[in-house]
Structure 1
């Protein structure tokens, strides 16, 4: 029954800390029992028993040789990947190629493959066996060259500056800035013979506009109209950085205001020249010199006062001295010698972005270099477009937009944001590549910020854990079990919360609203949560999100279709439409105030002076009674009382009895005397004490949030 078994050691010098046991036998069935002593395998006993025929065939096919090997715990870990070459395996093992050849003799013994340095091993099991034979452990990693490829910058970048011989003269870009209601839009209406100001809600500009105006002299000028309201500081900043000249409009009757100074600061940060237009000189009693002196106090010295800043007194409403302002603009532009390269790839900036219900995503682009034409592929921020339609500021279709020309672009796959840099790329494939790279960069930045937040949370948790551990160790064997039931893992947050969903007509308006909401700082009283925002009219998805979060939808200058309005009403969702930004902010403040918890405040009812204390009989006991005279208001029996002696409060509580003469009463009016017995029988009054009668009333809360305007 038993057959002979031949045991012998196979010393392999190239293997690390491993020995192999080769078992040669002529029998078909076997079992073995062995133990491992340090680096060698010793056989204690071998008994052979009969097994299944399937195992017999398997052993015969293995060529009479069985090899057992496994790396030890704590061995070096190397990174491997699919389709490695022999040389790559040797590199990760930090050994020569001959070592890999010898390991492959055991890992791939049934194959006739002749291995060379550049032979690709497609079977991942063979790669893993070679690593194990070499006494190492492995982990799956990405191919190193793939990591380098991922880190390669695939973003679109601006082209190098054009040589001087390719530059051509271009129109100036003029940004009109100033305080709200100082006449900026009226000035532009006078220059281009329009009436945009009549269509503006609330009499204020709430969008940044780009217009190309042909002056009487035949020259073209691109004007940027910026809002003057305090809420639109980001729009003013974009206008200042995209312009060549800033026209600062100052009303002669109001003078220098807060947004006037902010516009001056932004123009200086953008390093562009300033031209002052003193408006509303047609009003009676205005003082132009006073306005110029006020500007000089803030470092803007006009030529009339010996400075270098041109100042023109105008009346935009009456169209007075507009030709003088135009001449000053042309002169300033000629001094700057503005030029650009009309050829090559297009570069520009997004002035505004919005969604039209009929034509879809649109963006107003100010071309700064190159010529934008139909069919161009452009990228801007998180959006890209293949230009389908180009329109001018009047809405008419144009074939091309040369430098310093604003154009409305249709054909956006994803809508950009206002202020994004516009760059032309070779093809749609390249645009998709740029979008993918930018998306990956945003995800990496998000991961870094999330990791930072996680690290802070972990640090806080470790600090709390160490404090708790120290407390437990200090208690020692006197440690007690916590009283009461265990806290629930999930607790409902009953803190008052206002959830809002913002939809706006253009990206700049949504940005301004979000900037205002970020200034809210009373989250300890009422939480203000922004659940979603976007550009365009209200959609069914907005209704679903608002219903899930119990949010109010604020629609700014956009419509809510009638069918959706009915659906929102049936779903219990409130949709509020506004077309003036400060009215929207006032509405948010009212909603916050309505959610502020009620507070109790004292309401003074009356005041009395203590004349004398009496001792009266109450059954068999003597109790103190304060003889008082009401000197203010009235005293009420069921109200609260406070006794003040000097500067100190000596009693607070209720009355046990109130009498006038011998009758129990409920009210004592002014100049009437009474006897007051307090609930505390041990309390004694003194002549000269002041008795205050008051009650607690509920007071509606009101938010103290100040958005800055």
Structure 2
């Protein structure tokens, strides 16, 4: 049998190293210093015989017999300084012969705490950090990656401390599903499709309310949620914008929905955003009903649309497929009732149920900052019941619900599964698409939110301040890449995300677009200050700068652009990017001169007597010397003379004398070609 260490034997015997050490010293008179001590073979055999398993397979209970006595002995020894250090190391698994254990830490640790864990002077740890490229004080926190490098220097291992209470366990803590409590819930329907194919108009026909007229440009700019009642049964609708900038918002809608209505214009057919909507539906694995809208239009062709749908695997039932395709008209109301009946039938087949007695959880549909009411969030309850007074955790935001309103603005006290509500009482504006959970109290929500926020802050800090050699090299290489910094402010969070995504997609090899800040609310002095420091452009979407921001922007010459239509903003930024691009250069031949005679002048060099045979020769212009059709050298004209006078140019048919820079081997018959590079402004990326 090979030699074994104390901690290895303790693990095998399923007891703590501390108890085993005490037993070895007190009961077996085996001299061991700590859990890293090596035991002899005969000692191991004896201990295993006494502390192992009996012949009948039951574990021997000798350790328990000495439990009280051992506890008292360990407590006495723990008072001593040396034993205290051993206590800290007892559960660490060392990998080195020198006794260096495993250092445990969370996401960050102070330099002082690290020195104590390493049992090294603080000054030594700071010196080691300096050698790794990190300047840190005694009380400064350093991250896991930095500590890992320090531990490598001291030949010890590093382990991340496991959180005693996992975040997910806290927020998902709820009672088990009780079958008796499962009740039928309303289906959540998402309306998707290309811009201007009639999604919102179709919803208008369903819920008898006008939304399109209030939207800039007739385009839905935000996600809305509405509840309608048909034959005593409720249906919740999500209206996702159709413009390509809101791809992320459409994806979010597909992920939280039960059924998708794909709207396709009968006179337009499948368009780019229609394809994206189909992809989102397939990725989310949700049933899809195709509504071919605008059947009253002059160019309506239902068969053409059905044919195009087959290319994406959507085959109509009357063509032998399994996709429900229904011709409708939002303007005349044709087949709208049939569409709703199809929705209820599809929902019935899915057997949508939920337990309304559980703690509520769901998704943020939209969020905004209201001047009078503060942070306002539109939530879709997906399970459980949300009540006024509940404490909720929403991403890195928390709060206690002070008031709750339904989709018609009526104040309500609670909302069950599949019900969209607008809530007040959050500490900050949450991010659209974030999950929300009800927790036991506001203190828990605040602590969890702060933990999440700190993690995001640490990640952002590390990403912006920590540089490795590889990163440094890549940044040097990217020195030729120009960067357009943008600050985006909008009226709702969904618009911020959509604009940010669209702008960053404009990045090319020549110009990189970087949104350095995106937020909800008016443009403030803080935004202008950041724009000044970063040389950034400020874009406002459905928001305006306040008075102080306007004054500061004028003083600092910060450019503020306000928009109501998203693609106007994208086009303007694209134009700004084109203006930043290095211009393309076109070579323009000014003229050619033939060398007729060469003079050698001391202290001057070679002077070529030339005759201009084409165009004109310009002084200080670029030139190339051509011999037998081959370019010998490219250089610049150093001087140009007519007789004894310096001249700026010599035209065709005249003689001149010239001297070129850094080249004296000019010969009779050489052609000197004068040229210049003309900048051409780029008109496209």
Per-residue CA distance 1:462-509 (angstroms, 9 max, x = gap):
x9xxxxxxxxxxxxxxxxxxxxxxxxxxxxx99965433222222222
Aligned residue for 1:128?
81
* Aligned-partner SS, 2:249: helix
Quote the Cα distance in structure 2 between the aligned partners of 1:600 and 1:531. Answer: 29
Contact 1:500/1:552 (<8 A) preserved = yes
1:516 matched to which residue of 2? 502
Q: Distance in 1 between matches of 2:648 and 2:541?
A: 60
1:373 counterpart residue number: 387
Query: After superposition, where does 1:376-391 map in structure 2 within 5 Å?
Result: 376-391=390-405
Question: Closer, same or farther in 2 for the Cα pair 1:677/1:265, shift >3 Å?
Answer: same
The answer to whether residue 218 in structure 2 is matched with residue 203 in structure 1 is yes
Aligned residue for 1:206, secondary structure, equals coil
**3-state SS of the aligned residue for 2:362?**
strand
Distance 2:445 2:547 in 1: 38
Asked if 1:569 is matched to 2:522, the reply is no
Aligned counterpart for 1:313 among listed residues 323, 327, 349:
327
The 3-state SS of whatever aligns with 1:299 is: coil
Q: CA deviation at 1:192?
A: 2.0
1:181 aligns to 2:196 (yes or no): yes
Report deviation, 1:147.
Answer: 6.6
Pairing partner for 2:170 from 140, 155, 158: 155
Matching residue of 2:184: 169
CA contact (8 A) 1:314 1:320 kept: yes
For residues 622 and 244 of structure 1, the distance between their equivalents in structure 2, rounded to whole angstroms, comes to: 86
Unpaired runs of 5+ residues, structure 1, are: 1-75, 77-86, 100-114, 464-492, 705-709
Confirm or deny: 8 A CA contact 1:367 1:402 kept in the other structure.
yes
- Equivalent residue of 1:362, what SS? strand
Match of 1:507 in 2: 493
Q: CA deviation at 1:286?
A: 3.3
2:462 corresponds to 1:457: no
Say whether 1:349 aligns with 2:379. no
Query: How far is 1:617 from its partner?
Result: 9.4
Aligned-residue offset at 1:363: 1.1
Q: Specify the SS of the correspondent of 2:235.
A: strand
What is residue 80 of structure 1 aligned with on the other side? none
The count of corresponding residues between Structure 1 and Structure 2 is 557
Cα deviation 1:557-580 (Å, max 9, x = unaligned): 223223432243335444322222
**Counterpart in 2 of 1:481?**
none
Rounded to whole Å, the distance in 1 between the matches of 2:23 and 2:523 is 63
Is this contact kept in 2: 1:655–1:677, CA < 8 A?
no
Residue 293 of structure 1 deviates from its aligned partner by 0.7
2:675 counterpart residue number:
694
More helix by share: 2
Work out the CA distance in 1 between the residues paired with 2:639 and 2:579.
38
**CA distance change for structure 1 residues 516 and 644 in 2, over 3 Å: closer, same or farther?**
farther
Provide the C-alpha distance between the structure 1 equivalents of 2:453 and 2:638, rounded to a whole number of angstroms. Answer: 72
Find the counterpart in structure 2 of residue 214 from structure 1. Answer: 229
- Residues 246-325 of structure 1 aligned to structure 2 (within 5 Å): 246-325=260-339
Distance in 1 (CA, whole Å) between partners of 2:423 and 2:543 is: 20
How far the C-alpha of 1:538 sits from its partner, in A, is: 2.5
Measured in 2, the distance between the counterparts of 1:237 and 1:229 equals 13
Q: Quote how far apart the aligned CAs of 1:697 are.
A: 3.2
CA distance in 1, matches of 2:675, 2:552: 50
Task: Report the RMSD for the aligned CA atoms in angstroms.
Answer: 4.8
For residues 669-707 of structure 1, the C-alpha deviation after alignment (integer angstroms, 9 at most, x for no partner) is: xxx7555765457545769x7x86532334556783xxx
2:342 counterpart of 1:328: yes
Shift of the alpha carbon at 1:358?
1.3
- SS of the equivalent of 2:299 reads coil
User: CA 1:198/1:443 → structure 2, altered by over 3 Å: closer, same or farther?
Assistant: closer
Distance change >3 Å, CA 572–CA 96, structure 1 → 2: farther
Match among 548, 567, 570 for residue 582 of structure 1: 567
Deviations 1:5-52 (A, max 9, x none): xxxxxxxxxxxxxxxxxxxxxxxxxxxxxxxxxxxxxxxxxxxxxxxx
Q: How does 1:25-44 map to 2 (within 5 A)?
A: none
Do the aligned partners of 1:658 and 1:674 also contact (CA within 8 Å) in 2?
Answer: no
Distance in 1 (alpha carbons) for counterparts of 2:554 and 2:607: 65
Quote the Cα distance in structure 1 between the aligned partners of 2:543 and 2:298. Answer: 40
- 1:558 pairs with 2:511: no
The C-alpha deviation readout for 1:599-655, integer Å capped at 9, x for no partner, is 5723525667x8x8755999999987666654xxx5354455556678743464549
Q: Does the 8 Å contact 2:598/2:668 carry over to 1?
A: no
Alignment of 1:342-491 (within 5 A): 342-435=356-449, 438=452, 457=468
1:275–1:310 CA contact under 8 A, matched in 2: yes
Which residues of 2 match residues 106-121 of structure 1 at below 5 A? none
Match of 1:649 in 2: 631
Residue 625 to residue 364, structure 1, CA distance change in 2 (3 Å): same
618-627 or 579-588, which moves further after superposition? 618-627
| Equivalent residues of 1:155, 1:438 under 8 A apart | no
Shift of 1:539: 3.3
Distance 1:241 1:137, change over 3 A: closer
More displaced stretch, 229-238 vs 585-594: 585-594
Task: Report the structure number with the largest CA radius of gyration.
Answer: 1
SS at match of 2:238: strand
Q: Which residue of 1 aligns with 2:526?
A: 541
Structure 2 CA distance for partners of 1:502 and 1:446, relative to 1, 3 Å: closer
Query: SS of the residue aligned with 1:150?
Result: coil
Unaligned runs of 5+ in 2: 1-5, 7-15, 29-67, 88-98, 102-114, 119-159, 474-478
Report the equivalent of 2:616: 635
Distance, in Å, in 1 between the alignment partners of 2:425 and 2:540 is: 25
Q: Which shifted more, 417-426 or 559-568?
A: 559-568
Residues in 2 aligned to 1:624 and 1:450: alpha-carbon distance in whole angstroms:
61
Q: 1:546 to 1:442 in 2, by over 3 A?
A: closer
Contact 1:382 1:438 in 2 (8 A): yes
Q: 1:504-551: per-residue Cα shift (whole Å, max 9, x none)?
A: 22222222233234446457x556554433222233433443344443
Inter-CA distance 420–615: structure 2 relative to 1 (3 Å threshold):
closer
2:262 and 2:277 in contact (8 A); partners too: yes
Question: Which residue does 1:601 correspond to in 2?
Answer: 585
- Kindly indicate whether the alpha-carbon contact (under 8 Å) linking 2:586 and 2:680 is maintained by their aligned counterparts in 1: no
Q: Does the 8 Å contact 1:637/1:658 carry over to 2?
A: no
1:427 offset after TM fit, Å? 2.2
Moved more, 205-214 or 292-301: 205-214
The 1:399/1:126 distance shift into structure 2, 3 A limit, reads: closer
Aligned counterparts of 2:522 and 2:86: Cα–Cα separation in 1: 66
**SS of equivalent residue, structure 1 residue 214:** strand
Displacement, 1:309?
1.0
Structure 1 equivalent of residue 208 of structure 2: 193
